[in-house]
Chains A and B, each alone.
Chain A
Amino acid sequence: MSFAPKPTAFRSRSDSDDTDVARLRVVDPDTYTDWESVYRDNIDRLYRLMYARVGNRPDAEDLTSEVFRTALGPLRLASSKGEVRSYLLVTAQTVLAAHWRRTLGLSVTSIDPEADLDALTERSGPEEVGDAPQRVGKILASLPERYRRILELRFLEACSIKEAAHTLEISVSNAKVLQHRALRMAAKVGLEFEQ
Chain B
Amino acid sequence: MTTRRLTAFIDALAAGRRPDHYHADPEDAEVLRAAITLRAARPGDAMPDDAFVAELYKSLADERSTPDGSNVRPLRMRRTRAALIGVAASVALIGATFAATEASNNGATTTSAIPAPHGKVLQTATFETSQGRAVGQIVVYGGSPGWVFMNVDVPTSDGMVKCELRMMDGSVVAAGTVDLHHGSGVLSKEIHVDTNRLQGATLYSPSGAVVGSATFA
Binding site for B on A (CB under 8 A): 35-36, 39, 43-44, 47-48, 51-62, 64-65, 68-69, 72-73, 102-109, 126, 129, 132-133, 135-136, 139, 151, 154-156, 158, 160-161, 176, 179-180, 183-184, 186-188, 190-191
Contacts and interface: CB of A to CB of B under 8 A. Distances in A.
Is chain B's binding surface mostly helix, strand, loop or mixed?
helix
Contact of B10 (A64, A69, A105, A183): A183
Contacts, number: 165
Given A61-B48, A106-B29, A187-B34, A39 B60 contact: yes
By secondary structure, the A interface counts as: helix
Given A68-B60, A106-B26, A183-B10, A54 B162 contact: no
B16 A56 contact: yes
Contacts of B18: 56, 58-59
A58 B174 contact: yes
Contact of A102 (B34, B56, B174, B208): B208
A155 B32 CA distance: 12
Contact of A180 (B7, B29, B47): B7
Contact of B37 (A59, A105, A190): A190
A151 B42 CA distance: 11
Contacts of B38: 55, 136, 139, 151, 154-156, 186
Nearest to A131: B41
B197 to A, nearest CB: 16
Interface string B13-46: 1111111011110101111111111111111011
B161 to A, nearest CB: 13
Contacts of B35: 55, 155, 183
Given A61-B174, A107-B29, A108-B29, A176 B7 contact: yes
B30 to A, nearest CB: 4
Contact of A106 (B15, B24, B60): B24
A99 to B, nearest CB: 10
Contacts of A132: 37, 40-41, 46
B12 interface: yes
A69 B63 contact: yes
Nearest to B64: A35
A156 B23 contact: no
B34 A186 contact: yes
B128 interface: no
